[in-house]
């Protein structure tokens, strides 16, 4: 049912993942330069000049796919079982997104010990939470329909 609350949770999950394209995930400072990771790549700021030093294609593609999966799941409202399966796939994909972020954070100058998490570091966790809440909403819809069937 598209007007149900799980549609809002899935929309929020998709938007949280899309924000990874614009909000720094982790940052680091080394040798007078500031480095930060966004889903599109590694950026460096030296003497006020910002340059993109590396492009992270797997991270970018995974981010786009996860966001589109969350948004596409909204429109499978007629098949609740399939919608629940897609949400589980989205959660697994978000966990793999966390893995890619961790791998790229290790490559920052200074290593993982010098990394400061940004707001973007918590967005995959928020996406997982929103997907879990959508899953819960779908389960409640199924319980509501089962109880309505018993009354007939």
d(CA 56, CA 1): 37
| pLDDT tens column, 123-142 | 999 999 999 999 998 888 88
pLDDT, tens digit (0-9, with 9 covering 90-100), for 38-64:
988 888 888 888 888 888 888 899 999
Tell me the C-alpha distance between 60 and 21, whole Å: 8
The pLDDT tens digits for 6-22 are 889 999 999 999 999 99
Asked whether 76 and 89 are in contact (CB, 8 A), the reply is: no
Rounded mean pLDDT of the chain?
87
Q: Which domains does the chain have, with CATH numbers?
A: 5-143 (1.20.140.150)
């Amino acid at each position: 049912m598209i007007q149900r609350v799980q549609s809002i949770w899935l929309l929020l999950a998709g938007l949280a993942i899309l924000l990874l394209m614009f909000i720094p995930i982790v940052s680091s400072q080394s040798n007078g330069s500031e480095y930060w990771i966004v889903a599109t790549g590694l950026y460096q700021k030296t003497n006020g000049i910002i340059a993109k030093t590396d492009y992270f294609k797997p991270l970018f593609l995974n981010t786009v796919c996860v966001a589109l999966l969350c948004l596409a799941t909204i429109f499978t409202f007629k098949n609740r079982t399939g919608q629940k399966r897609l949400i589980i796939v989205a959660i697994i994909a978000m966990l793999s997104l966390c893995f890619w972020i961790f791998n790229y954070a290790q490559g920052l100058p200074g290593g993982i010990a010098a990394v400061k998490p940004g707001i973007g570091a918590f967005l995959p966790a928020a996406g997982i939470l929103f997907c879990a809440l959508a899953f819960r909403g779908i389960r409640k819809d199924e319980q509501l329909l089962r109880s309505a069937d018993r009354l007939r």
